[in-house]
Structure 1
Amino acid sequence: MLLVYNISLLIITVIGGSIPLWTSSWSDKRMKNLLAFSGAYLLSITMLHLIPESVENVGFAAGGYMLLGYFLQQILQKFTHGVEHGHHHSTGHQHHLPIVSLFFGMALHAFAEGIPLGTTYHEDSTVPSLYLAIALHKLPEAMLLVSLLIHSHRSKNASLLWLCLFALLTPVSSMLTHYAGIQLISFATALPYIIAVVTGSFLQIGTTIFFESGSNAHDMSWRRWIVILAGIGMALLSVIGQGHDHVHAH
């Protein structure tokens, strides 16, 4: 099933990310709604699944690792320029961004996203919920990355190549994590702590998207609230009927 999830994630990222290559009709309003929905869902899944799982595995110290991950993500934004939460979608200065360092930052971010996908959890619903959250997050993320490549005068073929490389990173990270967790005892021991750090980065991304979903006056329209509540509601569905039979993580 892990392979199916990763192939699906790869396909979704490539297809969604290639939209700017074929059409320019995707409006800023649609992008903001997509970001609001994906951000609300990612934030909710992080709180409903990853935080409880991290506390279960790491204990009281999980909060410190999450705090570390939160601020590491802040530092990573020096390279990504906030693309992972839609910061530069509507600016007119995309061509001034250093594409190589931006892609490096996005690559690190994408690789980190795959780490929580490559392990097992106490609740069976965590893995599919997390894959869906990452897929929804990667849709606008990949579209923004390709938009920046286009504005930097990369050809369609070159942009598509960069997109495919970007799309591969999270599934590859997931598979490496899975097999390393099985084969290497030291990595399996460290994995819950690494996941707690990544959980903190998800909190930073989700909260940033959420708070940037409003206008410059820090308010949101009722339509945007509907989109956000839909994302939260869909995440809540993932915890309905959760069992309590624990299957220990790697």
Structure 2
Amino acid sequence: MNWTYLILILLATLAGGVIPMTIRRINANFTIYLLAFTGAFLFGVTIMHLLPEVYHELGHSAGIYIVLGFFLQVFLQQLSHGMEHGHTHLPGEHHHHIAVTPLLLGLSIHAFMEGIPLGFKYEDQSALPSLMIGVAAHKVPEALTLITVMIHAHKSKTQLWQILLAFAVVTPVAAILAWWMGNRFDIVSHYLLYVVALVIGAFLHISTTIFYESGTKHHELSGKKVLAIATGLVLAFLTLIFE
């Protein structure tokens, strides 16, 4: 377990949450392009590092769990309302109620799922550091969106920090649990592969939704968003040089 990577993820989450607490008006395009970049990087890492790993170990049955993970994320999205890929769904001028509990539950389950593959031992030596960077990058817009919604839910400064700190530790805790149990119990190490396949499906759902939906009008791809996606994919390709 590389503790430096987990600290990086923790700090990235905190940094993303602090942005809406300190900046009153955030340019909408900043979030759109940040999401596009981080989503593309995570997509590339998933395709180039995680997919080969699970198919090598599980064979064609890996596809079943990847599909299940894809639709598990569809279900979680009903709770989180898509905050993990940038949707805020803020109430209108005359509607101030936000159902906070299901949002936090859905996003926390997603964050826990993100952490499990970080505690897994990969044959590909570049898989773990690449995934760590991808998750850390994705945490910035994820936490930014979460705290933005909580601000509009009229949470106090103290409550905002409590929510942010609690959310920030979910992914590192999941990684530590997966690593500890995987090293202690052989059966857990084996079944972690299936969980990684589920998470791959969730990552594919999130990243492709970011590409074609989040922050765009009529779901079009603007030139700047395409550039952000291309940059994320190029950097993901560059992780292959560490193999």
What TM-score do the two structures reach when normalised by structure 1? 0.92
User: 1:45-84 residue pairs with structure 2 within 5 A?
Assistant: 45-84=45-84
Q: Which runs of 5+ in 2 are unaligned?
A: none
Task: Give the letter for the 2:35 counterpart.
Answer: L
1:240 CA drift (Å): 2.5
- Cα RMSD of the aligned pairs, angstroms, is 1.7
Q: In the TM superposition, what whole-angstrom CA distance separates every residue of 1:152-179 from its partner, at most 9, and x where no partner exists?
A: 1101111011000000000000011001
1:88 CA drift (Å): 1.8
1:25 CA drift (Å): 3.0
**8 Å CA contact retained: 2:119, 2:178:** yes
The change in CA–CA distance for 1:241 and 1:6 in structure 2 (over 3 A counts) is closer
User: 1:179-194 residue pairs with structure 2 within 5 A?
Assistant: 179-194=180-195
1:186 CA drift (Å): 1.8
The change in CA–CA distance for 1:220 and 1:50 in structure 2 (over 3 A counts) is same
SS in 1 for 2:219: coil
The change in CA–CA distance for 1:152 and 1:241 in structure 2 (over 3 A counts) is closer
**8 Å CA contact retained: 2:81, 2:89:** no
Provide the residue aligned with 1:201 in structure 2: 202
> Structure 2 CA distance, aligned partners of 1:4 and 1:102?
29
Q: Which runs of 5+ in 1 are unaligned?
A: 243-250
Q: In the TM superposition, what whole-angstrom CA distance separates every residue of 1:205-226 from its partner, at most 9, and x where no partner exists?
A: 1111111157333322222111
Provide the residue aligned with 2:38 in structure 1: 38
SS in 2 for 1:39: helix
The change in CA–CA distance for 1:149 and 1:26 in structure 2 (over 3 A counts) is same
Q: In the TM superposition, what whole-angstrom CA distance separates every residue of 1:50-96 from its partner, at most 9, and x where no partner exists?
A: 11111011111000000000001000111100000012267747943
SS in 1 for 2:60: helix
SS in 2 for 1:194: helix
**8 Å CA contact retained: 2:86, 2:214:** no
> Structure 1 CA distance, aligned partners of 2:97 and 2:241?
47
Matched, 1:147 2:142: no
**8 Å CA contact retained: 1:214, 1:220:** no
What TM-score do the two structures reach when normalised by structure 2? 0.95
SS in 1 for 2:128: helix
Provide the residue aligned with 2:101 in structure 1: 100
Provide the residue aligned with 1:245 in structure 2: none
Size of the aligned set, in residue pairs, is: 242
Percent identity of paired positions between Structure 1 and Structure 2:
41
Task: Give the letter for the 2:41 counterpart.
Answer: Y
